[in-house]
Structure 1
């Protein structure tokens, strides 16, 4: 539980057609307008299909909203 105190914006990407989890990431250690991207995971089945790019774009968008 202590580790979760520094985790923000947990994000799960789900495949619409199969409802399978494709990817996951979160942000952590926000301090002085610096934040780290953590726990970046992409399902083997969806690698090489743009899932990681979509996840990273989503996390950057969330980070920009988070630090404003």
Structure 2
């Protein structure tokens, strides 16, 4: 499958809102949002973030991510990563994370890129280290049903690209 990326447009919002299939998936993508994800919630988040980007496969929007922090010459933090159900397991997450990482290093001259993942998000925990991200901190959070969770913060330096 061939992927392309471009900035998000207003026409993409409704499609992206359909990606989280349940409250837990939305929590992994956007912990502050209420399920189901609404166009208003996502649009508001996009206005507060940087470089909201979608992935297309053919004519379909299949992935989304952005930066919640973007410091020129400093740190860029990737957030809101989500892949459409029909495109999971096909490399979309790798493509969007690599795209955002390259954008951080090229557009912002970032020294490092960070991404965070909840301990129950097995797909993310297995993917991010393959892309050169290394854990550097663990933050306690609370799940939707009140359980203790670990939010694992990972970083990748400019020099830390995988072979």
1:30 is displaced (CA, Å) by: 2.7
Bigger relative CO (Cα 8 Å, ≥ 6 apart): 1
Can you give the 5+ residue segments of structure 1 that lack an aligned partner in the other structure? none
Aligned length: 65
Partner of 2:86: 45
After TM superposition, the score normalised by the length of structure 1 is 0.79
Q: Displacement, 1:25? A: 0.3
Change (3 A) 1:35 1:47: same
**Is 1:29 paired with 2:72?**
no
Kindly tell me: are residues 63 and 54 of structure 1, through their superposed partners in 2, closer, same or farther at Cα, counting changes over 3 Å? same
Name the one with the larger strand percent: 1
| Cα drift, residue 2 of structure 1 | 8.1
Partner of 2:108: 67
TM-score after normalising by structure 2:
0.36
Identify unmatched segments of 5+ residues in structure 2. 1-43, 110-163
Tell me how far 1:20 sits from its aligned partner: 1.3
Distance 1:3 1:13 in 2: 16
1:4 aligns with 2:57: no
Root-mean-square deviation (CA, aligned residues, Å) is 2.0
